[in-house]
Amino acid sequence: MAKKRKPRRKRRTRAATRTAPGTAPGTVVMDPGAPRPVITVMAFRPDKLVEQTISDPRALRDYTQRWPITWVNVNGLGDERTIRTIAESFDLHPLVLEDVVHTHQRPKLEEYPDQLFLVARMPQLEDVFRTEQLSLFVGPNYVVTFQERPGDCFEPVRKRIREGVRTRLLQADYLAYALIDAIVDSYFPALETFGERLEILEEEIQHKPTAEVLRRIHDLRHDLLALRRSIWPARDILNSLVRDPIPLISDSTRTYLRDCYDHAVRIIDLVETYRELSGGLIELYQSAVGHRMNEIMKVLTVIATIFIPLTFVAGIYGMNFNTQSSPWNMPELDWYWGYPLTLAVMALIVGGMIVYFRRKGWIGG
Amino acid sequence: MAKKRKPRRKRRTRAATRTAPGTAPGTVVMDPGAPRPVITVMAFRPDKLVEQTISDPRALRDYTQRWPITWVNVNGLGDERTIRTIAESFDLHPLVLEDVVHTHQRPKLEEYPDQLFLVARMPQLEDVFRTEQLSLFVGPNYVVTFQERPGDCFEPVRKRIREGVRTRLLQADYLAYALIDAIVDSYFPALETFGERLEILEEEIQHKPTAEVLRRIHDLRHDLLALRRSIWPARDILNSLVRDPIPLISDSTRTYLRDCYDHAVRIIDLVETYRELSGGLIELYQSAVGHRMNEIMKVLTVIATIFIPLTFVAGIYGMNFNTQSSPWNMPELDWYWGYPLTLAVMALIVGGMIVYFRRKGWIGG
Amino acid sequence: MAKKRKPRRKRRTRAATRTAPGTAPGTVVMDPGAPRPVITVMAFRPDKLVEQTISDPRALRDYTQRWPITWVNVNGLGDERTIRTIAESFDLHPLVLEDVVHTHQRPKLEEYPDQLFLVARMPQLEDVFRTEQLSLFVGPNYVVTFQERPGDCFEPVRKRIREGVRTRLLQADYLAYALIDAIVDSYFPALETFGERLEILEEEIQHKPTAEVLRRIHDLRHDLLALRRSIWPARDILNSLVRDPIPLISDSTRTYLRDCYDHAVRIIDLVETYRELSGGLIELYQSAVGHRMNEIMKVLTVIATIFIPLTFVAGIYGMNFNTQSSPWNMPELDWYWGYPLTLAVMALIVGGMIVYFRRKGWIGG
Amino acid sequence: MAKKRKPRRKRRTRAATRTAPGTAPGTVVMDPGAPRPVITVMAFRPDKLVEQTISDPRALRDYTQRWPITWVNVNGLGDERTIRTIAESFDLHPLVLEDVVHTHQRPKLEEYPDQLFLVARMPQLEDVFRTEQLSLFVGPNYVVTFQERPGDCFEPVRKRIREGVRTRLLQADYLAYALIDAIVDSYFPALETFGERLEILEEEIQHKPTAEVLRRIHDLRHDLLALRRSIWPARDILNSLVRDPIPLISDSTRTYLRDCYDHAVRIIDLVETYRELSGGLIELYQSAVGHRMNEIMKVLTVIATIFIPLTFVAGIYGMNFNTQSSPWNMPELDWYWGYPLTLAVMALIVGGMIVYFRRKGWIGG
Amino acid sequence: MAKKRKPRRKRRTRAATRTAPGTAPGTVVMDPGAPRPVITVMAFRPDKLVEQTISDPRALRDYTQRWPITWVNVNGLGDERTIRTIAESFDLHPLVLEDVVHTHQRPKLEEYPDQLFLVARMPQLEDVFRTEQLSLFVGPNYVVTFQERPGDCFEPVRKRIREGVRTRLLQADYLAYALIDAIVDSYFPALETFGERLEILEEEIQHKPTAEVLRRIHDLRHDLLALRRSIWPARDILNSLVRDPIPLISDSTRTYLRDCYDHAVRIIDLVETYRELSGGLIELYQSAVGHRMNEIMKVLTVIATIFIPLTFVAGIYGMNFNTQSSPWNMPELDWYWGYPLTLAVMALIVGGMIVYFRRKGWIGG
C-alpha cells in the first residue's frame, strides 16, 4: 500500500510549486529540494570539439564568441545565482527564467527578437509515468538546455557530435531539431510500456478481475491523460515551427521538423487509441465481474432449487400425524415400499431438475 | 443534513438576481442584501503614495487629475447612488454599470473609446466552491475595480506598491495586468483543494463506498463545472488581450499577459483532467459497490449451499416411516453405526463443498 | 397517468403541422385550430402615443405613413386573409409568410432589401416546457410581430412606451432590440424552474428512487433538449446582428444587442450545465437503486446465513435414529443437559455470525 | 424471427453492389435484379404540356430542342444500353454515369461546365427505414432524374405542372428546386414514424421491458444512423447551392433554396434529438429491467426472511430430545399451552417482520 | 487460446520497429525479418508494353529514359542496398527513404520539387485486420511503389495495361490515381467482413452471450480503430490532391480523384456507423447477460418462495408437542382428516403462489 500511496502524493504536488498569487512576474522561487546545477558545454567546429563541465557560468560568454556553435546543457535548477548568471550570458528574458525554474509548464514556444524559447516535456519511465521539463533556447550560434535532473535522451546526439558527424549540427537550428527529435522519439518506448500494461491488464481481467485491476486501469488512464497533456501541445509547437515564418529556422531544417511533426501525430494517434482501449478494458472488467456474479448465482440457484423441494418431501414424512386415528393420516408411513418409493420420487425430482438446468445451459458445457 | 442543504440553496440563486425581463437596459437593480460600498484609493507616483478610504465618491475626480496613476477599489455594491457617482467620475457606460451590479456575469471584455471593461470571477475557498465577480475598468491613468465583498487576492500587489516597487505599476495597463495575474494565480490554490478532494474521495471509495461518497463526487463535479464556466471565458479574454490590437495595452504588458494566458491554459488543462478523473471515480465507486455486492452474494451462496444439502440429509432421517412395517423402511435408523455414518457423510459433503469453493476462489486467498 | 400522456401527444405534433411535401412554396396552410388574429397597433412620436386594437388590417398602411414609428402586434394566426393583408401592407416576401404561419421554425434571421425577418421562440412555463414562435419584421419605421397565442413577455416594453420613456424606442431597430431582449430575458425564469426541478429530483432520488423519478429526469432532459434547440440558433442570430454589417441596425443599437448576446451565451452556459447535472442525476439514481438492492441483499443474507445453520442443527436432533440399537446413535438425546447445550451451541453460532457481520459492516452503524 | 432476419440481410448488401476494386473508372456494372428503365417525359411551355412515356431514348434530344423546358424522369436502372443512350443525349460525364447506376452514393453535388449533378436519397417508409437514390441533372433547359424504382414523392410537382401553375417552373433551376424541396419535405413523414416508434417503445419499456424491446431500440438507432447519413450531406449540398456562385442557379431560386436549407437543418435538429432520446430510452430500459430485478429480489427476501425463522422454530420442537431423561430436555413439549404459545411466538415474528418491511418500503404502497 | 494470443503479440510490435531515439534522421534500419525486394517493371507506350522482373536496380534509369511511362513495383523491403539504389535512380529524398522502410507510417502526402510522395495503407483480410504500408512516388513519367510483402490489389490495373486500355494510363498522375483508387476500393471488402462480424456477433449475443463474445466485440472495435486510423488521413490526402494546386496532377485526373475522395468519405461513413453499432452491441450484450441473470433469479425465487412456506407447514406438524398433556397441543395430528387437510392447504398455497407469479409475468408466456 505504501508503494501505491507515493505516486499519488507526487501527483498532487504538480500544481503546488508555484509563486504565491500576486507576486511580481519574473520572481524566481527555487524549489529547495532541486539538485544543484551542473553545466556541461559542447562547443565545436567541423574539425574540433570541446566538451567540458564548468563550474563558473561566467565563462560561457567566451564559448559563444570563439566557437561557431555551442551547446550548453544545465542539469538541475537548485541554485538561483548560477541560473541567473547563465541567463544573463545569453540575454534571456526575465519572465522566461521563471518558466525555466517552475517546472510545471505546458510545452510552449515563444519567439524573441533573436532567440527561440521552447518548453518540452521528456517522458520518464519509472513505475509511475512522469515527465521532466526541458527548457530549450536557440540563438544564432548556441543552444541552451535546462533539465530538472541528470539523465536524458540526448546521448545519441552527443555521440554523433563526438564522432564527427557534425556538418549539419553546426547550425543551431539543426542542433535544436536533433534534440527535439530525440525527445519526441523517446515517447515511443513510453508508449510501448503503456501497450504492455494494457495487455497485462487485459489478461488479468480474464483470470482475476479484482478491484485492484480496476484500480490499475484507473492509474493507467491517469497516466495516459498526463502523457496526452504533454504531447498535444508539443504537436502544436512542431506544427508552428514547420509552418510559421520563423527567421531562426532554415528551410532545410523545416523539412526535418516536418518529419518530427509526423512522429508527434503518430504518438497522439497511439495515445488516443490506448485511451479508447483502456475504456474498453473497463467494459471488459465490468463484464468479467458480472460474469463471476452470474456464476455464483447459478451455483446458488442450482443447489437451492434442487434441495429445497427434496427437503420439503422429507419434511412431509417428518410430520407426526397420528396414523392410528384415521386411515387417511399418512398411510404411506406404514407401506411396505414407503421409504424406497419416497427416495425414488426424490431421485426423479433431482433428475428432472438436472435435465431442466442442462437445457438452460446452467450446468455442464 | 442542514449543512448540505445550504450550498444547494445558494446555487439556485445564481440565476435569480436579475432585472425583470423587458425592463429598460441600464436599469440597475440593487441586491438589497449586498454590503454597502467601501471605497479605497491608491494614488501614487514614483516617489510618493497616497492610500485612503474615502466616503464621498465625488472626490475621485481629483485623484485622477493630480496623480499619474490611481487605483480605486470598491468593496460591496449595496448603494446605488455611490456606485452611480463613481461611474460618472470615470465616464462609465450605463449598460456596463448594470453588469457591475448584477454579479452573475460571465467573464467578458468590452472595449470602449478610451476604456477597457473586464469582468473576471475570483474563486472563493469556502466549503462550497463559489466565485465572486470582479469588474475592472482600465483607463489611461486609472484602474477601477468593483468587488462584491471585502477580502480579495490583491494584497501582494498592494504590498509591492507600498514597498515602492512601482516603476512598471505606474502604467495603468501593467497595473491591470498585475491584478488579473493575481486573480488567475488564485485559481491554483482552488485547484489544489479540488485535487485533495479527489484524493480523499478515492481513498473513501476504497474503504467505505457509501451513497454519501457518490453524492460528494457529484458535488465535486458540480463545482468543477462552475470553475470551468469561469475560467474558460477568462482564457478567451486573455487571448484577445494578447492578440487584438487594443491601444490601451502596451506591447511590453502584452508579453506579461501572454504569461498570464499560459497560466489560464494550464488551469484549464488541470480542470479538464480533474473532470476526467472524477468520471473515473464514479467508475471506481460503482465497481467498489459491485465488489461489495459480490462479496455478500458469495457469503450467502457459501453458507446456503453448504447447509441446504446437510439439512436435507437430516430431514431424511427425520421422516417417520414405520420401520416395523417393512425391512425397507429406513433400516438405517436401527443400524449400529447409523448416526455416526450419517454425520460422516455430512462431513464429507462439507469437505467437498469447501474444496469446490476454494477452487472457484470464493473462499480463502 | 392521463396527465403524463398528454404532453407526449403534444410533442409528437411538433413535426406534424406542415405543408404536404411537394406543394408550391409560399403555400400557406393554416392550422384549423389556431386562434383568430387580434391586431394591436402602437404608433407614437416623442410626445404622443396611439394604442389601438384594429379589426381591418387595411388600415395599417395609414399608420406607417403618418407616424415616425409603428409597432404592429398580431396575436393568433387563424385567418389566412387577415395575415395576407397584413403581409401586403408591409411588403413581406411570400415565402416568409409561410414561415410565419407554420410555427415550428427554428430561430433564424433573414435579410431583405429593406426589411429584417427574425424568428424567435418564446419559452412558456406550463407543466411541460414549450415554446411559442415569434415572427418579427423590422422595417425602416415599423416593427411587426406575429405570435401564436395571446400572452407574451412584452408588457414591460409596452409600459415604457406608454410612460413616455420613448426617445430611443423611436428607432425601429432599438424597438426590435427591446423586444428581443425581453424574449431572451424571459428564458431566465424558465431556467429557474429547470433548476428547481433538478433540485427536487435530486432530493427525491435520495429518499425514494422510484422508476417514476427516472421518468421525470428523462422528461427534464427532453425539455432541456427543446430549450437548447431554441436558444442555440438564437445566439447565432444575435451574434450575426452584432457583427454583420446590416444597414437597418445602427451602431448604438448594436452595443445593446451585444449585451443581449451576452445573456444568450449565459443561458446556453446554464443549459449545458443543467444537461451535465441531469446526466449526473441518472448516475445518482442508478446508485440509489443499487444501494437499495444491496440493502435488500444484506438483509436476506444476514437472516438466511444466521438461520440456515441453526435449522440444520435442529434438523440433526430431529432425526429418528434408534438410540436403543446402539450407544452411538444420538446419545445426546438422552443426555441430561442435551437440550440446553444444543440451545447454547445455537446461541454461539448466532453470536459468531453477528460479530462477523458487524466486522463486514453489514449490521449496525 | 424470419421477418427480423430479412432487413438485416438487406443492410449488409448496402456496401456490396459495387465495381470490383481496380476496374477502370466509368465502368458501369448493372445490378442484374434492378427493374428495367421506364422513361417519362414532361415538356412544356407556358400554354402547352406534353407528357409521355417513351420507349426509345433517342427521341429525347428532340424534346430539348423544341421545348423551353423538359423534365425526363427514369424509373429503374436495369438496362445499360438505355441508360447510356439517355446519358449521351444529355452529354453526361461518364464517371457520373457510374454514380447513377451504383445506387449507394452519399448525397453529393458536382458542377460541370453547363450541368449540375446532384445525388439525393429519398426516404422510403417500409418496415425498415431505407432510402432510394435519386440522381438529378440540371442543364440550361432540362432536368433529368434517375430513380431506382417506380414510386416517388414528385406527384404534387407533376400536378402543379399539369394544372398550369408553370410560370416559375419554366426555369430549369426552379424545377430542380421544386423536386429537391419535395424530397426534403418527404423526410418529415419519415421522422414522424420515428417519433411514433420512440413513443411506442417508451410505453412498452414501462409495461414489458423484454429483450425484444431493447432489440427494437437498437434497430431504431440503426435507422436513425442511416437517416442521418443521408440528410447530413444533403444539408451541405443545399448550403453550397445557396452560397456558392453557381451560374445555373438564379438568385430568385436561391431564395427558395434557402428555405429548403432551413428545412434540412430542422430535420437534422430532429434527428439529433431523436438520437438523444433513443439513448435515454436505453437508460429507461435498463432501469426498468433493474426495477424488475429489485422486485423479484424483494419478494424472495420477504418470503425467505419471514419463513426461515419460523421453520427454525418448528425445527426446534421437532427435535427428539428425551424429555424423560431430564427436566431440562424440552419441557415445553409437555406444557399445557406449549403449542399455542409456539404459534403465538411465530405470529409475533411474522408481525415484526412485516412492520420492518413496511418501514423499509418493501411491502405495500 | 493460442490462436487468440498471436494477434495481440503482433499488435504490440506496431509501435516497436523504429529507429532508436536520437539517431540521425534518414538512418535506415531494416527489419531483419522483412522479405527481400522483388522489382517488377511495367514500361509502356500506346502500342507496346514491357513487363519484367529485374534483379539489378541500376537498370531502372534506362526505362524512364526510353519509355513514356514506367511503373516500378517493389515487393519486400529486406535489403538496404537494393532500396538505396532504387531511391537514387529516382532521386528520392533521404528522409523519405526512412519512411518507406519503417512501415508504420500514417498515410501522408509530401510534395517535392518534381515528385509526389504518398504513403497509403492497404487493408489485409487475414483473421485479424491488418494494413500493409504502400509507399508511392509519382514523377513526371514514372510511378514507383514499395510494398511490404507480395500480394496486392493492383491486378485489375495491370490487366488494363496488358489489355491495351492504356490511353489515359500513359500519364503518370492517372496511373497513380488508378493505383490509389484500387487501394481505396479494396477497403470495401474489408468493411464487408466487418459487417458480417457485426451480424454474427449480434446473433451470438442473442443465443449465447458468453464472455468470449464480448471479447470479440472488443477485438472488433480494436480493428475498427485501426481501420479508422488508416482511412481518416487517407481522406485528407485525397482532399488535398483534389483541391491543392499540385503541378503534377492534371485537371482531368483531379476529376477522377474527386470520385476517389467520395469513396473514402463513404468508407469513413461506414466505419463510423460500424463503430456506433459495435457500441450498441455492447449494450445488447450487457442486456442479454442481465436478462439471463433475471431468469436465474426468477427460477430461484419461484422455487424458493413456493417451497419455503410448504416446508414450514410440514415443519409445524413435525413438532413433538405432547398431545396427551393438553387438548391444545396439536390436536390436528389426531384429526381424522388432518393429513389430507394439511396437504390441501399446501396445494392451496402453491396455487396462490402460481397465480401471483403468473400475474407478475414470472411464469408462463
| Identity of the residue in E221, E225, E310 whose CB atom sits nearest the CB atom of A312 | E310
CA distance A306 to chain B (A): 9
Span D257-270, mean pLDDT? Answer: 90
Share of chain E above pLDDT 90, in %: 23
| pLDDT classification of C9: cutoffs 50, 70, 90 | very low
The complex's ipTM works out to 0.71
Taking CB atoms and an 8 Å cut-off, how many pairs form between chains A and E? 178
Q: Is C26 left (phi over 0), alpha (psi -120 to 50) or beta?
A: left
| Pairwise CB contact (< 8 Å): B305 & A308 | no
pLDDT for residue B275 is more than 80: yes
pLDDT for residue D1 is more than 80: no
Q: Is C188 left (phi over 0), alpha (psi -120 to 50) or beta?
A: alpha
How far CA A110 is from CA of A93, A94, A96, A117, C56, in Å, comes to 11, 13, 9, 5, 70
User: Chain C residues with CB inside 8 Å of D270's CB?
Assistant: 15
pLDDT for residue D222 is more than 60: yes
Span B315-336, mean pLDDT? Answer: 85
| Identity of the residue in D15, D23, D282 whose CB atom sits nearest the CB atom of E195 | D15
| pLDDT classification of D322: cutoffs 50, 70, 90 | confident
Give the chains touching C; criterion: ≥3 Cβ pairs < 8 Å: B, D
Which residues have CB under 8 Å from B120's CB, separation 6+? B107, B133, B134, B136, B180, B183, B234, B237
Which chain D residues in 101-160 lie under 8 Å from chain C, judged by CB atoms?
153-157, 160
| Pairwise CB contact (< 8 Å): B178 & A337 | no
| Identity of the residue in B259, B265, B283 whose CB atom sits nearest the CB atom of A95 | B259
| Identity of the residue in C156, C318, C326 whose CB atom sits nearest the CB atom of B23 | C156
Give the chains touching D; criterion: ≥3 Cβ pairs < 8 Å: C, E
Query: Quick one: closest CA in B to C327, which residue?
Result: B336
| Pairwise CB contact (< 8 Å): D319 & C317 | yes
| Pairwise CB contact (< 8 Å): B320 & A333 | yes
Quote the mean pLDDT of chain E.
84
- pLDDT for A332: 83
| Pairwise CB contact (< 8 Å): B296 & C291 | no
Span B346-353, mean pLDDT? Answer: 92
| Identity of the residue in E258, E301, E330 whose CB atom sits nearest the CB atom of D299 | E301
What is the rounded CA–CA span in Å between residue B93 and residue E58? Answer: 80
> Shortest CA distance to C52 belongs to which of C35, C71, C33?
C71
| Pairwise CB contact (< 8 Å): E333 & A320 | yes
Contact B273, A232 (CB under 8 A): no
Span C31-59, mean pLDDT? Answer: 88
What is the rounded CA–CA span in Å between residue A80 and residue A29? Answer: 8
- pLDDT for A17: 45
Considering only residues A95 and E198, tell me which one the structure prediction assigns the higher pLDDT: E198
Q: Pick the residue of B305, B324, B332, B360 with the most A CBs within 10 A to test the interface with A by mutation.
A: B305
Q: In what order do the strands lie in the sheet with B38-45?
A: B48-54, B38-45, B69-75, B142-147, B129-138, B115-125, B108-112
| Identity of the residue in A22, A214, A300 whose CB atom sits nearest the CB atom of B157 | A22
| pLDDT classification of E323: cutoffs 50, 70, 90 | confident
Contact D296, C296 (CB under 8 A): no
User: Chain D residues with CB inside 8 Å of C323's CB?
Assistant: 322
Taking CB atoms and an 8 Å cut-off, how many pairs form between chains C and D? 179
How far CA D73 is from CA of D51, D298, E216, in Å, comes to 11, 65, 48
Does D331 contact chain E (CB < 8 Å)? no
The three-state (H, E, C) secondary structure of A159-211, written as one string: HHHHCCCCCHHHCHHHHHHHHHHHHHHCHHHHHHHHHHHHHHHHHHHHHCCCH
pLDDT for residue D39 is more than 90: yes
Note the helical H segments in D317-365.
338-360
Span B211-222, mean pLDDT? Answer: 86
| Identity of the residue in C186, C270, C315 whose CB atom sits nearest the CB atom of B21 | C186
User: Chain D residues with CB inside 8 Å of C213's CB?
Assistant: none
Instruction: Please tell me the number of Cα atoms within 13 Å of A73 on its side-chain side.
Output: 22
The answer to pTM > 0.90 is no
CA distance D152 to chain E (A): 25
pLDDT for residue A1 is more than 90: no
Contact D130, D118 (CB under 8 A): no
What is the rounded CA–CA span in Å between residue E158 and residue E150? Answer: 15
How far CA C164 is from CA of C47, C159, D54, in Å, comes to 8, 9, 73
Span B196-215, mean pLDDT? Answer: 85
| Pairwise CB contact (< 8 Å): E287 & D214 | yes
Which secondary structure element, helix H or strand E, spans residue E342, and what is its range? helix E338-360
Does A360 contact chain E (CB < 8 Å)? yes
Which chain B residues in 170-209 lie under 8 Å from chain C, judged by CB atoms?
208
User: Chain C residues with CB inside 8 Å of B215's CB?
Assistant: 206, 284
| Identity of the residue in B20, B106, B315 whose CB atom sits nearest the CB atom of C156 | B20
- pLDDT for B218: 87
Give the chains touching B; criterion: ≥3 Cβ pairs < 8 Å: A, C
CA distance C331 to chain D (A): 10
| pLDDT classification of B189: cutoffs 50, 70, 90 | confident
- pLDDT for C21: 61
| Pairwise CB contact (< 8 Å): B218 & C258 | no
Does A330 contact chain B (CB < 8 Å)? yes
Quote the mean pLDDT of chain B.
84
Taking only the tens place, the pLDDT of each residue in E35-74 is 889 999 999 988 889 999 998 888 888 898 899 999 999 9
Which chain A residues in 77-106 lie under 8 Å from chain B, judged by CB atoms?
93, 95, 98-99, 104-106
Q: Pick the residue of D227, D252, D312, D349 with the most C CBs within 10 A to test the interface with C by mutation.
A: D312
Percent composition of chain E: helix, strand, coil (DSSP 3-state, to 5): 60, 15, 25
Taking only the tens place, the pLDDT of each residue in A139-189 is 999 999 999 988 888 988 898 888 876 667 788 999 999 999 999 989 988
Query: Quick one: closest CA in E to D298, which residue?
Result: E301
Which chain D residues in 252-311 lie under 8 Å from chain C, judged by CB atoms?
255-256, 258-259, 262, 265-266, 269-270, 273, 276-277, 280, 283-284, 287-288, 290-291, 293-294, 297-298, 300-301, 304-305, 308-309, 311
Query: Quick one: closest CA in D to E182, which residue?
Result: D22
Burial class (CB in 10 A: 0-12, 13-18, 19+), A360: middle
Span C284-293, mean pLDDT? Answer: 82
Span B293-301, mean pLDDT? Answer: 82
What is the rounded CA–CA span in Å between residue E70 and residue B187? Answer: 65
| Pairwise CB contact (< 8 Å): D320 & C315 | no
| Identity of the residue in A110, A289, A299 whose CB atom sits nearest the CB atom of B301 | A299
Per DSSP, the residues of A231-281 read HHHHHHHHHHHHHS--TTS-HHHHHHHHHHHHHHHHHHHHHHHHHHHHHHH
